[in-house]
Structure 1
Amino acid sequence: MEDVSKLLRLEMEQCAILIYQVAAHSADELHDHQGFYQISIPLNGSPRMECNGEIRKVTGDQRLVLSPGYRHRHYAGEEASRMMLLFFKESFLRGVEEERLGKPASSIEFVPWAEGATDMFRRLAEHSVLQTMARPLSELEQQETELELARLLLTLQDGTHDNKHEDRSLLISHPGLRRAVDFLYEKSSENIQLDMVADAAGLSKYHLIRLFRAQLGQTPAQYIANLRVNKAIQLLQKTKLDITAIAFEAGFGSLGTFERVFKRRTGHCPSQFRQRQD
């Protein structure tokens, strides 16, 4: 049996969807993709994934998002690991971002490690794959799928681009949940308690957490942490504030907490991330 198997591939004009399996106790070659972004999503098994020298286990609602040139590989443990890989042409994604913002967009570099809302990517890709088993996708269906996948990536994945709050809100159907998200965006730098979010949403705490998991794939606490990391990224890029000031400005209670959460989300400590932008 080969160490790596490509079980299914759906090629579109700007994107591709690949079902990819690594045999037990095996790994693919360390490699990168020039001119393409890639999302790696686990389907079964407990794969470990490597990005720019850092290795993490990626399970459940987690994903690895690779910008062009990021060196990476996938490892399987005791059992074979099956993954869904999504590819985007760099020129296409930049074009979607420019159309979304109504202005030229510079190169985009995503935060590689992420959790929450991964099932939204998985469901959309699986739906497209299942459609092709009955008949080939029309040109219009392909274009719609590509644009929806790009919109999800640009609005749900933190990075150097401008992932606007308004675009994220459009993904939320429940009005109470939307009120909660609006509240978190407004108050993300403050000390937030779950009771406060539930009151703003007009929901019980139990219902609020259930809606966050169902529609956003994460808890309110995880969502707040992502908001704060994203704000810190913007401050690191656009200001000369020192790291401690940025930690408190973004809403973290201590420098240690900020550095730990930031590295877990981005793969870099704040000072390293700032150096990469220079």
Structure 2
Amino acid sequence: MIVQIVTPQLELWRIGGQFSNLPHAHEGEFQVTVPVNGTCFFTQENKEYMVAGGSGLVQHPLENHSFNMGHDAEVLVFKIGRGSLQELVPYTELEFAVRQAFDPTIVSRHFRRWMGALLACDPTDRLAQEETETAVLQFLLGNLAGSHDHASKTYTDLPVGAFSSDPYLRHVLEYIHAHYADEIHIDALASIALQSRFHFIRSFKNAVGVTPYQYVLLLRIEEAMRRLERTELSVTDISCSLGFSSPSQFYRAFARSAGMTPEKWRNSRT
């Protein structure tokens, strides 16, 4: 069984059962391999490793590696571009310990949530994708031992609510309110806040209570409710005019928020 999800920032793999691959290397990517069941047998840079639950192995860019496992084993694989991680700790040369410690129950739970979020996400909705990408990268950087240990703590562990007094938050909110019906990217919002996108998502949620994507979605649904109640525009026209990639995406978001379909909402207001 192999499940793979690829986004612009990373790849997530879940591999279960009998498996082996040929020696290979990734030019500009780190790979983190975490067994959650059974045992994996790695060959990495001419060294042999036996890796079981509770541990993980890091493959740095250009390191030659391969692995095999039996029918009762299962691994989670993260492939991340060097630049994606470097954005989180921009002044640190990244070097991770080869062997790492992971709680298989915790990492499996997070992995299922990330996979579910990315599978449910419309591929054209980059704002939602970026938030999940950021959650994965922050989890890895917070759990991997390496050269970034000190830098990551000072860079990301800011007091809750610290962003609430930042004058740039007002500019971010003004921008969102002016453009919530358009395509919005995390990088654009982070640049207004003068922060990295990784720092920005955490800061925004601390200050506002929800993530940027959730806030944009809230504004879109609130405006959809107003238009359903006050106009005769079709549901398709409303969804397109508010930045949803398709009517089906709009239906799902509206039903989660309102507890009913757009048509039922409109009928309940007449």
TM-score of the superposition, structure 2-length normalised? 0.50
Say if 2:22 is the partner of 1:29: yes
Identity within the alignment, %: 19
| Structure 1 unmatched runs, 5+ | 99-103, 171-278
- Indicate the residue corresponding to 1:157 in structure 2: 144
For residue 47 of structure 1, give the secondary structure of its aligned residue in structure 2: strand
Q: CA deviation at 1:83?
A: 1.7
- Indicate the residue corresponding to 2:69 in structure 1: 76
Spell out the pairing of 1:194-209 with structure 2 (5 A cutoff).
none
- For each residue in 1:170-205, what CA deviation from the matched residue of structure 2 results, as whole angstroms up to 9, or x when unmatched? 6xxxxxxxxxxxxxxxxxxxxxxxxxxxxxxxxxxx
> Which of the two has higher C-alpha Rg?
2
- Indicate the residue corresponding to 2:239 in structure 1: none
Aligned length: 157
Distance in 1 (CA, whole Å) between partners of 2:85 and 2:41 is: 27
- For each residue in 1:54-113, what CA deviation from the matched residue of structure 2 results, as whole angstroms up to 9, or x when unmatched? 222222221111111122111224x35332111111111112211xxxxx333x121011
Out of 30, 42, 62, which is 2:35 matched to? 42
Out of 131, 153, 171, which is 1:144 matched to? 131
Say if 2:115 is the partner of 1:123: no
Equivalent residues of 1:154, 1:163 under 8 A apart: no
Q: CA deviation at 1:141?
A: 2.5
- Indicate the residue corresponding to 1:109 in structure 2: 95
Which residue identity is paired with 1:139?
R
Distance in 1 (CA, whole Å) between partners of 2:29 and 2:126 is: 21
Equivalent residues of 1:121, 1:149 under 8 A apart: no
Alignment CA distance shift 1:82-1:136 (3 Å): farther
Distance in 1 (CA, whole Å) between partners of 2:131 and 2:119 is: 18
Out of 7, 12, 18, which is 2:7 matched to? 12
For residue 69 of structure 1, give the secondary structure of its aligned residue in structure 2: coil
Equivalent residues of 1:9, 1:16 under 8 A apart: yes
Please give the root-mean-square deviation of Cα atoms over the aligned residues, in Å.
Answer: 2.9
- For each residue in 1:113-172, what CA deviation from the matched residue of structure 2 results, as whole angstroms up to 9, or x when unmatched? 1113454443322212123444536422321222222222223212233445846996xx
